[in-house]
Amino acid sequence: MKKYYIKTFGCQMNVYDSHRIAVILENLGFKPATSLPDADLVIFNTCHIREKAAEKVFSDLGRLNLIKEERAASGKDTIIGLVGCVVQAEDQQIAKRSPFVDFALGPLTYHRIPEILAQISRKKGITLIDTEFPAESKFDYLPENKSEGGCSFLAIQEGCNNFCTYCVVPYTRGIETSRPVEEIIKEAKLLVEGGSVELNLLGQNVNSYHGEDADGKERNLAYLLRRLNEIDGLKRIRYTTSYPADVNDELIACHRDLPKLMPYLHLPIQSGSDSILKAMNRRHTSGQYLEIIDKLREANPSLGFSSDFIVGFPGETDSDFEATLDVVKKVKYIQAFSFKYSRRAGTPAALMPNQVEEKVKKERLEILQNLLFSYQLKFNKESIGKIMPVLFEIKGRHKGQLIGRTPYMQNLHAELGKEYLNKIVNMRVTEATTNSLTGIKEGE
Ligand code: 5AD
Ligand code: SF4
Protein backbone atom coordinates (compact mmCIF):
# COMPACT_ATOMS: atom_id res chain seq x y z
CA MET A 1 0.00 0.00 0.00
CA LYS A 2 1.43 3.38 -1.05
CA LYS A 3 1.73 6.13 1.53
CA TYR A 4 1.64 9.92 1.11
CA TYR A 5 2.88 12.88 3.13
CA ILE A 6 1.82 16.48 2.44
CA LYS A 7 3.70 19.40 3.96
CA THR A 8 1.85 22.70 3.81
CA PHE A 9 3.49 26.12 3.83
CA GLY A 10 1.66 29.45 3.99
CA CYS A 11 -1.94 30.48 4.22
CA GLN A 12 -5.27 28.86 5.04
CA MET A 13 -6.04 28.50 1.33
CA ASN A 14 -3.03 26.21 1.10
CA VAL A 15 -4.32 24.22 4.08
CA TYR A 16 -7.62 23.82 2.23
CA ASP A 17 -5.86 22.83 -1.03
CA SER A 18 -3.70 20.28 0.81
CA HIS A 19 -6.81 18.73 2.29
CA ARG A 20 -8.39 18.45 -1.17
CA ILE A 21 -5.16 16.87 -2.46
CA ALA A 22 -5.28 14.37 0.43
CA VAL A 23 -8.82 13.41 -0.63
CA ILE A 24 -7.60 12.88 -4.24
CA LEU A 25 -4.79 10.64 -3.02
CA GLU A 26 -6.98 8.63 -0.67
CA ASN A 27 -9.40 8.04 -3.55
CA LEU A 28 -6.41 6.66 -5.48
CA GLY A 29 -5.74 4.20 -2.64
CA PHE A 30 -2.93 6.08 -0.86
CA LYS A 31 -2.85 6.13 2.94
CA PRO A 32 -1.31 8.90 5.09
CA ALA A 33 2.29 8.25 6.18
CA THR A 34 3.09 8.92 9.82
CA SER A 35 6.48 10.43 8.98
CA LEU A 36 8.17 11.87 5.93
CA PRO A 37 10.76 9.06 5.43
CA ASP A 38 7.89 6.57 5.47
CA ALA A 39 6.18 8.17 2.43
CA ASP A 40 6.27 6.91 -1.17
CA LEU A 41 4.82 10.21 -2.35
CA VAL A 42 5.74 13.53 -0.75
CA ILE A 43 4.00 16.73 -1.76
CA PHE A 44 5.10 20.20 -0.69
CA ASN A 45 2.32 22.77 -0.99
CA THR A 46 4.24 26.00 -1.21
CA CYS A 47 3.96 29.72 -0.43
CA HIS A 48 5.52 32.61 -2.32
CA ILE A 49 4.14 35.60 -0.41
CA ARG A 50 7.41 36.66 1.23
CA GLU A 51 10.99 35.79 0.33
CA LYS A 52 11.53 33.78 3.52
CA ALA A 53 8.54 31.54 2.79
CA ALA A 54 9.78 30.77 -0.74
CA GLU A 55 13.39 30.14 0.34
CA LYS A 56 12.23 27.80 3.10
CA VAL A 57 10.64 25.60 0.42
CA PHE A 58 13.93 25.22 -1.46
CA SER A 59 15.96 24.50 1.68
CA ASP A 60 13.39 21.92 2.87
CA LEU A 61 13.49 20.37 -0.60
CA GLY A 62 17.25 19.89 -0.24
CA ARG A 63 16.65 17.91 2.96
CA LEU A 64 13.88 15.95 1.28
CA ASN A 65 16.26 14.90 -1.50
CA LEU A 66 18.56 13.33 1.12
CA ILE A 67 15.63 11.25 2.33
CA LYS A 68 14.82 10.29 -1.27
CA GLU A 69 18.43 9.10 -1.73
CA GLU A 70 18.40 7.13 1.53
CA ARG A 71 15.16 5.44 0.53
CA ALA A 72 16.58 4.70 -2.95
CA ALA A 73 19.58 2.99 -1.28
CA SER A 74 17.15 0.59 0.36
CA GLY A 75 15.31 0.01 -2.93
CA LYS A 76 12.35 2.31 -2.32
CA ASP A 77 11.13 4.84 -4.87
CA THR A 78 9.97 8.28 -3.71
CA ILE A 79 7.91 10.58 -5.86
CA ILE A 80 8.32 14.26 -5.00
CA GLY A 81 5.62 16.70 -6.05
CA LEU A 82 5.62 20.45 -5.66
CA VAL A 83 2.37 22.35 -5.78
CA GLY A 84 1.20 25.86 -4.91
CA CYS A 85 2.38 29.41 -5.43
CA VAL A 86 6.16 28.84 -5.66
CA VAL A 87 5.52 26.61 -8.66
CA GLN A 88 3.44 29.27 -10.35
CA ALA A 89 6.02 31.98 -9.77
CA GLU A 90 9.26 30.05 -10.20
CA ASP A 91 8.47 27.32 -12.72
CA GLN A 92 11.72 28.01 -14.56
CA GLN A 93 13.75 27.67 -11.35
CA ILE A 94 12.44 24.32 -10.16
CA ALA A 95 14.15 22.04 -12.65
CA LYS A 96 17.40 24.01 -12.14
CA ARG A 97 17.38 24.30 -8.34
CA SER A 98 15.65 21.01 -7.51
CA PRO A 99 16.02 18.58 -10.44
CA PHE A 100 14.90 15.67 -8.24
CA VAL A 101 11.32 17.02 -8.17
CA ASP A 102 9.12 14.67 -10.23
CA PHE A 103 6.20 16.98 -10.87
CA ALA A 104 5.17 20.55 -10.21
CA LEU A 105 1.65 21.98 -10.45
CA GLY A 106 0.37 25.50 -9.84
CA PRO A 107 -2.47 26.19 -7.38
CA LEU A 108 -5.05 26.04 -10.14
CA THR A 109 -3.99 22.73 -11.69
CA TYR A 110 -3.57 20.28 -8.81
CA HIS A 111 -6.71 18.43 -9.92
CA ARG A 112 -4.37 16.89 -12.54
CA ILE A 113 -2.49 14.87 -9.88
CA PRO A 114 -4.09 11.49 -10.79
CA GLU A 115 -3.16 11.85 -14.46
CA ILE A 116 0.35 13.07 -13.62
CA LEU A 117 0.96 10.13 -11.27
CA ALA A 118 -0.15 7.75 -14.02
CA GLN A 119 2.26 9.42 -16.46
CA ILE A 120 5.12 9.17 -13.96
CA SER A 121 4.51 5.47 -13.42
CA ARG A 122 4.73 4.94 -17.19
CA LYS A 123 7.79 7.08 -17.93
CA LYS A 124 10.47 7.42 -15.28
CA GLY A 125 12.81 10.36 -14.90
CA ILE A 126 10.77 13.21 -16.32
CA THR A 127 9.71 16.40 -14.61
CA LEU A 128 6.16 17.39 -15.35
CA ILE A 129 5.29 21.02 -14.83
CA ASP A 130 1.91 22.62 -15.39
CA THR A 131 1.48 26.27 -14.53
CA GLU A 132 -1.17 27.15 -17.09
CA PHE A 133 -4.04 29.29 -15.86
CA PRO A 134 -6.68 26.82 -17.08
CA ALA A 135 -9.92 28.06 -18.63
CA GLU A 136 -11.95 25.52 -16.67
CA SER A 137 -12.19 25.43 -12.87
CA LYS A 138 -10.28 22.77 -10.91
CA PHE A 139 -13.38 22.49 -8.72
CA ASP A 140 -15.20 20.82 -11.63
CA TYR A 141 -12.62 18.02 -11.57
CA LEU A 142 -11.87 17.49 -7.89
CA PRO A 143 -13.47 14.61 -6.01
CA GLU A 144 -16.07 15.59 -3.39
CA ASN A 145 -14.60 17.28 -0.35
CA LYS A 146 -14.61 15.53 3.04
CA SER A 147 -15.05 17.02 6.50
CA GLU A 148 -11.82 17.73 8.37
CA GLY A 149 -13.42 17.56 11.80
CA GLY A 150 -15.35 20.14 13.79
CA CYS A 151 -14.09 23.04 11.72
CA SER A 152 -13.59 22.95 7.96
CA PHE A 153 -12.32 25.44 5.43
CA LEU A 154 -14.38 26.00 2.31
CA ALA A 155 -12.89 27.94 -0.63
CA ILE A 156 -15.56 30.09 -2.24
CA GLN A 157 -13.40 32.49 -4.22
CA GLU A 158 -9.86 32.46 -5.52
CA GLY A 159 -7.42 34.93 -7.01
CA CYS A 160 -7.34 38.68 -6.80
CA ASN A 161 -7.76 41.67 -9.11
CA ASN A 162 -6.56 44.26 -6.63
CA PHE A 163 -2.90 44.23 -7.59
CA CYS A 164 -1.55 45.75 -4.39
CA THR A 165 1.91 46.78 -5.53
CA TYR A 166 3.77 44.55 -3.04
CA CYS A 167 1.80 41.36 -3.58
CA VAL A 168 2.41 38.28 -5.73
CA VAL A 169 -1.06 36.79 -5.29
CA PRO A 170 -2.62 38.13 -8.52
CA TYR A 171 0.30 36.53 -10.38
CA THR A 172 0.27 33.20 -8.53
CA ARG A 173 -3.44 32.60 -7.91
CA GLY A 174 -4.60 34.44 -11.00
CA ILE A 175 -7.50 36.78 -11.49
CA GLU A 176 -10.48 36.63 -9.21
CA THR A 177 -13.00 33.83 -9.73
CA SER A 178 -16.02 32.87 -7.62
CA ARG A 179 -17.49 29.39 -7.28
CA PRO A 180 -21.22 29.06 -8.06
CA VAL A 181 -23.62 29.37 -5.10
CA GLU A 182 -25.12 25.88 -5.37
CA GLU A 183 -21.71 24.23 -5.57
CA ILE A 184 -20.74 25.96 -2.31
CA ILE A 185 -24.02 25.10 -0.56
CA LYS A 186 -23.59 21.47 -1.62
CA GLU A 187 -20.02 21.34 -0.29
CA ALA A 188 -21.11 23.08 2.93
CA LYS A 189 -23.87 20.51 3.53
CA LEU A 190 -21.45 17.67 2.83
CA LEU A 191 -18.97 19.06 5.36
CA VAL A 192 -21.70 19.53 7.98
CA GLU A 193 -23.01 16.00 7.41
CA GLY A 194 -19.41 14.84 7.89
CA GLY A 195 -19.32 16.43 11.36
CA SER A 196 -18.23 20.02 10.82
CA VAL A 197 -20.05 22.52 13.01
CA GLU A 198 -17.96 25.49 11.85
CA LEU A 199 -17.18 26.59 8.31
CA ASN A 200 -14.52 29.13 7.45
CA LEU A 201 -15.17 30.51 3.97
CA LEU A 202 -11.94 31.26 2.17
CA GLY A 203 -10.88 33.56 -0.60
CA GLN A 204 -7.95 35.90 -1.23
CA ASN A 205 -10.55 38.63 -1.55
CA VAL A 206 -13.50 36.80 -0.07
CA ASN A 207 -15.91 39.71 0.23
CA SER A 208 -15.70 40.49 -3.47
CA TYR A 209 -17.45 37.13 -3.97
CA HIS A 210 -19.85 37.27 -6.91
CA GLY A 211 -20.88 33.71 -7.72
CA GLU A 212 -23.65 32.60 -10.03
CA ASP A 213 -26.87 31.31 -8.51
CA ALA A 214 -29.09 28.54 -9.90
CA ASP A 215 -31.26 31.17 -11.62
CA GLY A 216 -28.23 32.62 -13.41
CA LYS A 217 -28.14 35.74 -11.17
CA GLU A 218 -24.90 36.93 -9.59
CA ARG A 219 -24.95 36.83 -5.78
CA ASN A 220 -22.67 38.48 -3.24
CA LEU A 221 -21.11 37.27 0.00
CA ALA A 222 -23.98 38.63 2.12
CA TYR A 223 -26.46 36.49 0.17
CA LEU A 224 -24.23 33.43 0.54
CA LEU A 225 -23.86 33.97 4.30
CA ARG A 226 -27.64 34.18 4.69
CA ARG A 227 -28.06 30.93 2.75
CA LEU A 228 -25.39 29.17 4.81
CA ASN A 229 -26.92 30.46 8.04
CA GLU A 230 -29.97 28.29 7.25
CA ILE A 231 -28.07 25.00 7.15
CA ASP A 232 -29.19 22.76 10.03
CA GLY A 233 -26.33 21.46 12.13
CA LEU A 234 -24.00 24.29 11.13
CA LYS A 235 -23.26 26.36 14.23
CA ARG A 236 -20.54 28.82 13.27
CA ILE A 237 -19.57 30.70 10.13
CA ARG A 238 -16.43 32.76 9.47
CA TYR A 239 -14.96 34.25 6.34
CA THR A 240 -11.49 35.43 5.44
CA THR A 241 -9.74 37.50 3.99
CA SER A 242 -11.75 40.65 3.31
CA TYR A 243 -10.76 43.75 1.40
CA PRO A 244 -11.92 46.95 3.15
CA ALA A 245 -13.23 48.74 0.04
CA ASP A 246 -15.46 45.75 -0.74
CA VAL A 247 -17.30 45.73 2.61
CA ASN A 248 -20.83 46.80 1.67
CA ASP A 249 -23.91 47.60 3.77
CA GLU A 250 -25.46 44.21 3.09
CA LEU A 251 -22.40 42.48 4.52
CA ILE A 252 -22.42 44.80 7.54
CA ALA A 253 -26.09 43.89 8.12
CA CYS A 254 -25.13 40.20 8.23
CA HIS A 255 -23.01 40.95 11.30
CA ARG A 256 -26.14 42.41 12.92
CA ASP A 257 -28.58 39.69 11.82
CA LEU A 258 -26.91 36.31 11.52
CA PRO A 259 -26.50 34.47 14.81
CA LYS A 260 -24.11 31.92 13.32
CA LEU A 261 -21.69 34.53 12.00
CA MET A 262 -18.86 34.75 14.56
CA PRO A 263 -18.11 38.17 16.08
CA TYR A 264 -14.57 38.28 14.70
CA LEU A 265 -13.45 39.89 11.47
CA HIS A 266 -10.05 39.86 9.79
CA LEU A 267 -9.93 43.13 7.88
CA PRO A 268 -6.38 44.02 6.80
CA ILE A 269 -5.43 47.69 6.49
CA GLN A 270 -1.66 47.08 5.83
CA SER A 271 -0.68 50.68 6.68
CA GLY A 272 -2.28 53.65 8.44
CA SER A 273 -0.67 56.23 6.14
CA ASP A 274 -2.71 57.46 3.20
CA SER A 275 0.32 58.14 1.03
CA ILE A 276 1.64 54.60 1.66
CA LEU A 277 -1.83 53.14 1.02
CA LYS A 278 -1.84 55.02 -2.28
CA ALA A 279 1.63 53.72 -3.20
CA MET A 280 0.38 50.24 -2.27
CA ASN A 281 -2.50 50.75 -4.73
CA ARG A 282 -5.04 50.09 -1.99
CA ARG A 283 -8.50 51.42 -2.84
CA HIS A 284 -9.12 52.98 0.57
CA THR A 285 -7.74 55.60 2.91
CA SER A 286 -7.24 55.06 6.63
CA GLY A 287 -10.26 57.32 7.28
CA GLN A 288 -12.50 55.21 5.06
CA TYR A 289 -11.22 52.07 6.77
CA LEU A 290 -12.02 53.47 10.22
CA GLU A 291 -15.51 54.45 9.02
CA ILE A 292 -16.15 50.85 7.95
CA ILE A 293 -14.97 49.61 11.35
CA ASP A 294 -17.36 52.09 13.04
CA LYS A 295 -20.29 50.92 10.91
CA LEU A 296 -19.51 47.28 11.67
CA ARG A 297 -19.28 48.06 15.40
CA GLU A 298 -22.61 49.87 15.23
CA ALA A 299 -24.16 46.80 13.58
CA ASN A 300 -22.62 44.47 16.15
CA PRO A 301 -20.95 46.07 19.19
CA SER A 302 -19.39 42.77 20.24
CA LEU A 303 -17.24 42.49 17.07
CA GLY A 304 -13.48 42.06 17.49
CA PHE A 305 -11.09 42.88 14.67
CA SER A 306 -7.79 41.62 13.35
CA SER A 307 -5.58 42.92 10.57
CA ASP A 308 -2.43 42.40 8.53
CA PHE A 309 0.27 45.08 8.58
CA ILE A 310 3.35 45.66 6.46
CA VAL A 311 6.13 47.84 7.87
CA GLY A 312 8.93 49.33 5.80
CA PHE A 313 7.08 49.58 2.50
CA PRO A 314 9.27 51.64 0.08
CA GLY A 315 9.19 55.32 1.04
CA GLU A 316 7.66 54.72 4.51
CA THR A 317 8.77 57.55 6.79
CA ASP A 318 8.65 57.76 10.59
CA SER A 319 5.42 59.76 10.36
CA ASP A 320 3.85 57.18 7.99
CA PHE A 321 4.72 54.53 10.55
CA GLU A 322 3.24 56.67 13.35
CA ALA A 323 -0.01 56.76 11.35
CA THR A 324 -0.08 52.95 11.43
CA LEU A 325 0.36 53.01 15.22
CA ASP A 326 -2.50 55.53 15.43
CA VAL A 327 -4.87 53.17 13.61
CA VAL A 328 -3.90 50.36 15.99
CA LYS A 329 -4.67 52.62 18.96
CA LYS A 330 -8.07 53.48 17.51
CA VAL A 331 -9.19 49.98 16.50
CA LYS A 332 -7.57 48.08 19.41
CA TYR A 333 -7.20 44.86 17.41
CA ILE A 334 -7.76 41.68 19.36
CA GLN A 335 -5.30 39.84 17.09
CA ALA A 336 -3.01 40.80 14.20
CA PHE A 337 -0.36 39.64 11.77
CA SER A 338 2.51 41.98 10.96
CA PHE A 339 5.37 41.62 8.52
CA LYS A 340 8.45 43.42 7.29
CA TYR A 341 8.02 44.43 3.66
CA SER A 342 9.58 41.76 1.43
CA ARG A 343 10.72 42.74 -2.04
CA ARG A 344 9.09 40.35 -4.51
CA ALA A 345 10.43 40.18 -8.07
CA GLY A 346 7.81 41.05 -10.66
CA THR A 347 5.75 43.30 -8.37
CA PRO A 348 5.76 47.08 -8.93
CA ALA A 349 6.95 47.92 -5.40
CA ALA A 350 10.15 45.92 -5.91
CA LEU A 351 11.27 48.61 -8.38
CA MET A 352 10.23 51.60 -6.26
CA PRO A 353 12.92 53.98 -5.00
CA ASN A 354 13.49 54.61 -1.28
CA GLN A 355 13.53 50.97 -0.20
CA VAL A 356 13.66 50.96 3.61
CA GLU A 357 16.73 49.62 5.39
CA GLU A 358 16.42 46.23 7.05
CA LYS A 359 17.41 47.67 10.44
CA VAL A 360 14.59 50.23 10.29
CA LYS A 361 12.07 47.58 9.25
CA LYS A 362 13.14 45.44 12.18
CA GLU A 363 12.80 48.33 14.67
CA ARG A 364 9.36 49.30 13.35
CA LEU A 365 8.13 45.72 13.41
CA GLU A 366 9.15 45.38 17.04
CA ILE A 367 7.42 48.60 18.06
CA LEU A 368 4.25 47.67 16.16
CA GLN A 369 4.15 44.14 17.52
CA ASN A 370 4.64 45.32 21.10
CA LEU A 371 1.68 47.65 20.70
CA LEU A 372 -0.46 44.96 19.02
CA PHE A 373 0.43 42.41 21.70
CA SER A 374 -0.54 44.86 24.46
CA TYR A 375 -4.11 45.10 23.08
CA GLN A 376 -4.25 41.37 22.46
CA LEU A 377 -3.18 40.66 26.04
CA LYS A 378 -5.68 43.19 27.41
CA PHE A 379 -8.51 41.58 25.43
CA ASN A 380 -7.49 38.09 26.55
CA LYS A 381 -7.25 39.20 30.21
CA GLU A 382 -10.73 40.72 29.98
CA SER A 383 -11.97 37.26 28.96
CA ILE A 384 -11.08 35.85 32.41
CA GLY A 385 -14.24 34.88 34.30
CA LYS A 386 -16.37 34.87 31.13
CA ILE A 387 -18.16 31.80 29.83
CA MET A 388 -17.43 31.18 26.16
CA PRO A 389 -18.54 28.49 23.73
CA VAL A 390 -15.33 26.78 22.58
CA LEU A 391 -15.01 24.45 19.62
CA PHE A 392 -12.33 21.89 20.49
CA GLU A 393 -10.30 21.12 17.38
CA ILE A 394 -7.08 19.35 18.36
CA LYS A 395 -5.39 17.43 21.17
CA GLY A 396 -2.91 19.43 23.25
CA ARG A 397 0.72 18.55 23.84
CA HIS A 398 -0.05 17.01 27.23
CA LYS A 399 -2.17 13.92 27.72
CA GLY A 400 -5.80 14.76 28.52
CA GLN A 401 -5.53 18.26 27.10
CA LEU A 402 -7.59 19.70 24.26
CA ILE A 403 -7.19 22.98 22.38
CA GLY A 404 -10.14 24.83 20.95
CA ARG A 405 -11.20 28.21 19.72
CA THR A 406 -13.49 30.81 21.21
CA PRO A 407 -15.80 32.85 18.95
CA TYR A 408 -12.96 35.43 18.85
CA MET A 409 -10.41 32.91 17.49
CA GLN A 410 -8.58 32.83 20.82
CA ASN A 411 -6.90 29.47 21.48
CA LEU A 412 -8.20 27.93 24.68
CA HIS A 413 -6.45 25.05 26.45
CA ALA A 414 -8.39 22.76 28.78
CA GLU A 415 -8.09 19.48 30.61
CA LEU A 416 -10.83 17.58 28.83
CA GLY A 417 -11.40 14.05 27.54
CA LYS A 418 -11.19 13.39 23.83
CA GLU A 419 -14.96 12.83 23.67
CA TYR A 420 -15.18 16.65 23.53
CA LEU A 421 -13.11 16.84 20.36
CA ASN A 422 -15.04 18.52 17.51
CA LYS A 423 -17.71 19.66 19.99
CA ILE A 424 -18.68 23.13 21.17
CA VAL A 425 -18.45 23.28 24.96
CA ASN A 426 -19.24 26.18 27.31
CA MET A 427 -15.98 27.01 29.07
CA ARG A 428 -15.20 29.40 31.91
CA VAL A 429 -11.95 31.25 31.17
CA THR A 430 -9.56 31.01 34.12
CA GLU A 431 -6.22 32.28 32.79
CA ALA A 432 -4.96 34.35 29.88
CA THR A 433 -1.66 35.14 28.17
CA THR A 434 -1.00 37.05 24.93
CA ASN A 435 -1.43 33.94 22.82
CA SER A 436 -3.85 31.70 24.64
CA LEU A 437 -6.48 31.16 27.28
CA THR A 438 -7.02 28.39 29.79
CA GLY A 439 -10.47 27.31 30.87
CA ILE A 440 -12.62 24.82 32.73
CA LYS A 441 -15.89 23.30 31.65
CA GLU A 442 -18.80 25.39 32.88
CA GLY A 443 -20.49 23.75 35.86
CA GLU A 444 -17.38 21.84 36.99
N1 5AD B 1 5.94 41.74 1.99
C2 5AD B 1 5.45 41.63 3.25
N3 5AD B 1 4.20 41.23 3.51
C4 5AD B 1 3.41 40.90 2.47
N5 5AD B 1 2.14 40.48 2.41
C6 5AD B 1 1.80 40.30 1.12
N7 5AD B 1 2.83 40.59 0.32
C8 5AD B 1 3.85 40.98 1.14
C9 5AD B 1 5.17 41.43 0.92
N10 5AD B 1 5.69 41.55 -0.32
C11 5AD B 1 1.31 40.34 3.61
C12 5AD B 1 0.08 41.26 3.56
C13 5AD B 1 -1.04 40.31 3.30
C14 5AD B 1 -0.54 39.07 4.00
C15 5AD B 1 -1.21 37.81 3.58
O16 5AD B 1 0.82 39.02 3.68
O17 5AD B 1 -0.04 41.87 4.83
O18 5AD B 1 -2.27 40.76 3.80
FE1 SF4 C 1 -2.49 40.60 -2.40
FE2 SF4 C 1 -3.76 42.97 -2.19
FE3 SF4 C 1 -4.98 40.90 -3.39
FE4 SF4 C 1 -4.61 40.83 -0.73
S5 SF4 C 1 -5.89 42.33 -1.86
S6 SF4 C 1 -4.20 39.14 -2.19
S7 SF4 C 1 -2.64 41.88 -0.52
S8 SF4 C 1 -3.13 41.93 -4.11
Handedness of CA 366, 371, 375, 381 (dihedral sign): positive
Handedness of CA 416, 422, 423, 424 (dihedral sign): positive
- Tell me what pLDDT residue 127 has: 64
Q: In terms of CATH, what superfamily is 3-130?
A: Methylthiotransferase, N-terminal domain (3.40.50.12160)
Range 138-382: architecture per CATH: Alpha-Beta Horseshoe (3.80)
- Tell me what pLDDT residue 125 has: 57
- Tell me what pLDDT residue 124 has: 63
Range 387-441: architecture per CATH: Beta Barrel (2.40)
pTM: 0.95
- Tell me what pLDDT residue 205 has: 95
What gap in Å lies between CA 9 and CA 13, rounded to an integer? Answer: 10
Pocket test for ligand 1, best of 202, 310, 324 (most atoms within 8 A of CB): 310
Among the atoms of ligand 2, which is closest to the Cα of residue 173? 6
Residues in the chain: 444
**Ligand 1 pocket, Cβ-based, cut-off 6 angstroms:** 49-50, 166-167, 268, 270, 308, 310, 339, 341-342, 344
DSSP 344: -
Residue range(s) of every CATH 3.40.50.12160 domain in the chain: 3-130
Residue range(s) of every CATH 2.40.50.140 domain in the chain: 387-441
| pLDDT (tens digit per residue) in 198-234 | 999 999 999 999 999 999 999 999 999 999 999 999 9
Ligand at shortest distance from the CA of 160: 2
- Tell me what pLDDT residue 126 has: 60
C-alpha 308 – ligand 1 centre gap (Å): 8
Q: Which residues of the chain have pLDDT under 70?
A: 124-127, 444
Residue range(s) of every CATH 3.80.30.20 domain in the chain: 138-382
All residues at 6 or more sequence positions from 104 whose CB lies less than 8 Å from its CB, including other chains: 81, 82, 83, 87, 91, 94, 127, 128, 129, 130, 131
C-alpha 341 – ligand 1 centre gap (Å): 7
Q: Is the CB of 204 under 6 A from ligand 2?
A: yes
